[in-house]
Amino acid sequence: MNLETHLSEHDEDVKQVILHVSEVAKKISRGFATRQGVSDSSNIYGERQVAMDVWADELLISELRGSKLVRHLASEEQPDVLTFEDSTSDLGLTIDPLDGSSLIGVNLAVGTIVGIYRGDVLSPGEGMLGAMYVLYGPLTTLTYCLREGVHEFALDDNGDFVLQEENIVIPEGKIYAPGALRRDYLPAHRGFIERLEAEGYKLRYSGSFVADVHQILHKGGVFTYPAYAGSEMGKLRLLFEAAPMGFIVSQAGGAVSDGRRDLLTIKPEAVSQRVPVYIGGKREITLIEGMHKENTS
Ligand code: P6P
């Protein structure tokens, strides 16, 4: 079964926007070979953009504007939410065009992350219609969830996204992907990491959020980019990274937290809002939230 068939029961505009993103993703997957190197620009977070960042962002914005399927579009590479007045739909999308792009130069897996809303994208993630991500690795895979299971497709030789796994459920597993520097850990987080290590969790961290979370979704465990000394909000963006990937893992039976509460209950105050992130199995999320409660009582 291919992606279009699998989406057939969903609202037409939602189905079409996912298919549209999937077609752009095919172009992005072919674009790496001829767009290596850095650009001379930086994003609003002061991060140096690579050539693919700029190109993928421009391509997605142009294609989604032209699709007339999207009214509100927020991109991690843009300072403000874009509004397309001539849209025939009221969908709102958040996009991280190429998460992990600093790793393209060393040929590690990177990805495109999309959050799908009805209306305003500055809403808590718990209200999303759905989310999807494309992972550009040895295979180009597309994973989506519209509240009826988490499903993964792989791009085949004919250029079709073909179903690989349906109704994915996060297993129990002993992998942890610990972002930030150990020397900067805050007390509760330090205790959490030491507990996982004492229980024999294996460290698996590539520096690419979408790839690292994809691994946790399929093998279990936890990804974290915590609050740390010097940044109480951590590094990752709520709107573009934590909420959409957290939505997918939550829908697969896992959970997502800022360390104290369900991250999907947080209303973004700005597109650039950062948030401490814990994404993974319910056991690990319950553990860190308990440690934060103990640490503040
Ligand atoms: P660090 C990539 O720049 C990113 O936004 C995420 O994809 C990734 O999880 C994180 O930053 C890596 O950050 O500090 O480990 O390089």
Share of the chain above pLDDT 90, in %: 92
Tell me which of 31-40, 94-103, 142-151, 283-292 is least confident: 31-40
Residue nearest to atom 16 of ligand 1 (CA): 207
Beta carbons of 159 and 27 less than 8 angstroms apart: no
Residue nearest to atom 12 of ligand 1 (CA): 207
Residue nearest to atom 13 of ligand 1 (CA): 207
**Residue 235 CA, ligand 1 centroid: distance in Å:** 8
**Residue 106 CA, ligand 1 centroid: distance in Å:** 14
Between the alpha carbon of residue 166 and those of residues 19, 143, 152, the distances in Å are: 17, 10, 6
Fold of 175-296: D-Maltodextrin-Binding Protein; domain 2 (3.40.190)
Q: Which of 82, 58, 62, 63 is nearest to 19 (CA)?
A: 63
pLDDT tens digit string along 114-161? Answer: 999 999 999 999 999 999 999 999 999 999 999 999 999 999 999 999
For the segment 260-288, the average pLDDT, to the nearest whole number, is 98
- The predicted pLDDT at position 296 comes to 73
Burial 137-158 (b: 16+ CB within 10 A, else e): eeebbbbbbbeeebbbbebeee
pLDDT tens digit string along 45-73? Answer: 878 777 888 999 999 999 999 999 999 99
Residue 267's CB is within 10 A of a number of other CB atoms, namely 12
Residue nearest to atom 3 of ligand 1 (CA): 100
Question: Domain boundaries in the chain?
Answer: 3-165, 175-296
For the segment 261-286, the average pLDDT, to the nearest whole number, is 98
Kindly report the pTM of this predicted structure.
Answer: 0.96
pLDDT tens digit string along 25-37? Answer: 999 999 998 888 7
- The predicted pLDDT at position 266 comes to 98
pLDDT tens digit string along 176-224? Answer: 999 999 999 999 999 999 999 999 999 999 999 999 999 999 999 999 9
Average pLDDT value over all residues in the chain: 96
Residue nearest to atom 6 of ligand 1 (CA): 209
Beta carbons of 222 and 197 less than 8 angstroms apart: no
**Residue 209 CA, ligand 1 centroid: distance in Å:** 6
For the segment 167-180, the average pLDDT, to the nearest whole number, is 98
- The predicted pLDDT at position 297 comes to 61
Ligand 1: residues within 6 Å at CB? 99-100, 102, 179, 207-209, 225, 235-236
Residue 39: pLDDT above 80?
no
Q: From the alpha carbon of 237, which atom of ligand 1 is closest?
A: 5
Residue nearest to atom 2 of ligand 1 (CA): 100
Q: From the alpha carbon of 47, which atom of ligand 1 is closest?
A: 3
The CATH number of 3-165 is 3.30.540.10
Q: Which of 293, 240, 225, 35 is nearest to 121 (CA)?
A: 240
Q: Give the integer Cα–Cα distance in Å for 146 and 138.
A: 26
Q: CA geometry: angle at 181 spanning 175 and 185, to 5°?
A: 85
Between the alpha carbon of residue 147 and those of residues 13, 28, 126, 129, 130, the distances in Å are: 16, 27, 11, 7, 6
**Residue 242 CA, ligand 1 centroid: distance in Å:** 12
Tell me which of 29-33, 48-52, 164-168, 282-286 is least confident: 48-52
**Residue 7 CA, ligand 1 centroid: distance in Å:** 32
Pairing of strands 222-225, 175-178: parallel
